């Protein structure tokens, strides 16, 4: 039939980093290749005589791109499938744009190809908070025995060690990290953005030498996000994270309290009164559900 679209061809040059149920995530090392640079012949002659004229040949260094491919799902009707894919891409890119406008650090967008189900965004050079807290990479068990079996290859082990040393190398404590996360989440909610899937895998820690703190929290994975200012929705968003903390980082209760404290402070007393109250109700509902199910 038709030739593979240029966007899909990018996958051939990319490295698969996560195979999910909804999407495959790739790292594309080079989006636009390094350009060749040429100067007009008359300038070049000039440059040979006066060396400094040729000094401004500085060019862009190729930056990697994150490709998120929402591949076709054969178990769904094709029409429904492309509709759902479009909706996911739409809400993800709208939320990312809204975040950028609100000053929340998220990956910037480089390419959207709805027909191909592809979004290309800035590659965040850092670690997921999950890795930093010793939970391993997503999909990988936080089980030390695995290493004994020699199942974890060297690269993974090296990365894990690097992630776990990230806090020390940046000179920050877990408490400080938790405070940053809480503050970031309050900004998100003040901008009326509901993330929809807050987990420690969907938050990244990136070194940022130009910032006074030396690092920044980058939120990712906005596929389930929405726009809302209703306290119930904000509370559910937080509750999802609470559960994620409890299951991925079993000894994390104290850490998580740090997130909540900073969140409450960021939100402001009045608003926190509403959201905090809701959160108690949501927790209660969750516990009841657990008892039945």
Partner 1 sequence: MESYHLSHFPVDHSSVHLAFFKNVTNSADLRKRLVAAATMEGEEGDRERDLLDYAFVEANMIVDREQLLTAIYSALQAASSGSLKTKTLHSEVLLSLHPSATPQINEALRKFGISATTKNLILVRIGPPSSCSTTSTSTSSPPSSDEDAKAEHEQKLVDAMSDLVEGEMTSLSQLRESDVDWKGLKKLYKLNEMNLPSNAPSTETEKDMLAAVITSTIATKTVAG
Binding site for ligand ATP (CB under 6 A): 17-18, 20, 22-23, 25, 66, 68, 107, 121-124, 128, 138, 197, 201-202, 220-221, 223
Taking the complex as a whole, the smallest distance from the CB of residue 202 to Mg ion amounts, in Å, to 5
Nearest residue (CB) to Mg ion, 25 versus 279: 25
Q: Give me the catalytic one of 81, 113, 197, 261.
A: 197
> What is the full DSSP assignment across 158-191?
HHHHHHHTHHHHHT--HHHHHHHHHHHHHHHHHT
Residue 106 neighbours by CB under 8 Å, 6+ apart? 96, 99, 100, 218, 219, 220, 222
Q: Is 64 buried (19+), middle (13-18) or exposed (0-12) by CB count in 10 A? A: middle
Nearest residue (CB) to Mg ion, 98 versus 130: 130
Binding residues for partner 1, rule: CB under 8 A, are 5-7, 9-10, 32-33, 35-43, 56-60, 86, 89-90, 93-94, 96-97, 100-103, 108-115, 120, 210
C-alpha–C-alpha distance, residues 10 and 23, integer Å? 15
Q: Is 34 buried (19+), middle (13-18) or exposed (0-12) by CB count in 10 A? A: exposed
Residue of 168, 166, 169, 146 lying closest to 156 (CA atoms): 146
Nearest residue (CB) to ligand ATP, 184 versus 202: 202
27 φ, ψ to 5°? -105, 120
Taking the complex as a whole, the smallest distance from the CB of residue 57 to Mg ion amounts, in Å, to 41
Taking the complex as a whole, the smallest distance from the CB of residue 215 to partner 1 amounts, in Å, to 15
Nearest residue (CB) to partner 1, 112 versus 142: 112
Taking the complex as a whole, the smallest distance from the CB of residue 34 to partner 1 amounts, in Å, to 9
Partner in contact with 113, chosen from partner 1, ligand ATP, Mg ion, none, beta carbon below 5 to 8 Å by kind? partner 1
Taking the complex as a whole, the smallest distance from the CB of residue 175 to ligand ATP amounts, in Å, to 23
Cβ proximity of 213 and 180 under 8 Å: yes
Partner in contact with 123, chosen from partner 1, Mg ion, ligand ATP, none, beta carbon below 5 to 8 Å by kind? ligand ATP
In this structure, what token pair is assigned to residue 229?
A: 């200012």
Residue of closest CB approach to ligand ATP: 223
Binding residues for Mg ion, rule: CB under 5 A, are 202, 221
The kind and range of the H/E element at 215 are: strand 215-219
Is 197 designated active site? yes
Residue of 83, 84, 77, 102 lying closest to 22 (CA atoms): 84
SS3 122: strand
Q: Tokens 């939100």, residue?
A: 267
Partner in contact with 228, chosen from Mg ion, ligand ATP, partner 1, none, beta carbon below 5 to 8 Å by kind? none
Task: Give me the active site residues, please.
Answer: 197
């Amino acid at each position: 039939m038709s030739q593979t679209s240029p966007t899909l061809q990018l996958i051939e040059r990319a490295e698969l980093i996560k195979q999910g149920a909804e999407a495959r995530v790739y790292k594309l090392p080079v989006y636009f290749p390094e350009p060749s640079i040429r100067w007009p012949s008359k300038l070049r002659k000039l440059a040979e005589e006066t060396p400094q004229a040729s000094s401004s040949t500085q060019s862009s260094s190729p930056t990697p791109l994150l490709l998120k491919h929402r591949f076709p799902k054969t178990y769904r009707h094709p029409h429904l499938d492309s509709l759902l894919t479009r909706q996911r891409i739409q809400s993800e890119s709208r939320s990312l744009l809204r975040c950028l406008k609100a000053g929340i650090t998220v990956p910037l967008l480089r390419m959207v190809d709805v027909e191909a189900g592809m979004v290309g965004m800035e590659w965040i050079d850092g670690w997921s908070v999950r890795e930093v807290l010793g939970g391993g990479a997503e999909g990988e068990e936080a089980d030390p025995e695995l290493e004994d079996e020699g199942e974890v290859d060297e690269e993974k082990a090296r990365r894990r060690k690097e992630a776990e040393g990230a806090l020390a190398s940046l000179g920050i404590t877990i408490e400080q990290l938790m405070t940053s996360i809480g503050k970031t989440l309050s900004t998100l909610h003040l901008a009326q953005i509901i993330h929809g899937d807050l987990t420690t895998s969907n938050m990244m820690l990136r070194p940022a030498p130009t910032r006074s703190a030396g690092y920044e929290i980058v939120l990712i994975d906005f596929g389930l996000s929405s726009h809302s200012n209703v306290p119930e929705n904000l509370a559910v968003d937080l509750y999802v994270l609470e559960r994620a903390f409890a299951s991925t980082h079993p000894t994390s209760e104290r850490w998580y309290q740090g997130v909540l404290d900073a969140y409450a402070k960021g939100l402001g007393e009045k608003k926190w009164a509403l959201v905090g109250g809701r959160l108690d109700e949501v927790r209660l509902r969750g516990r009841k559900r657990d008892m039945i199910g």
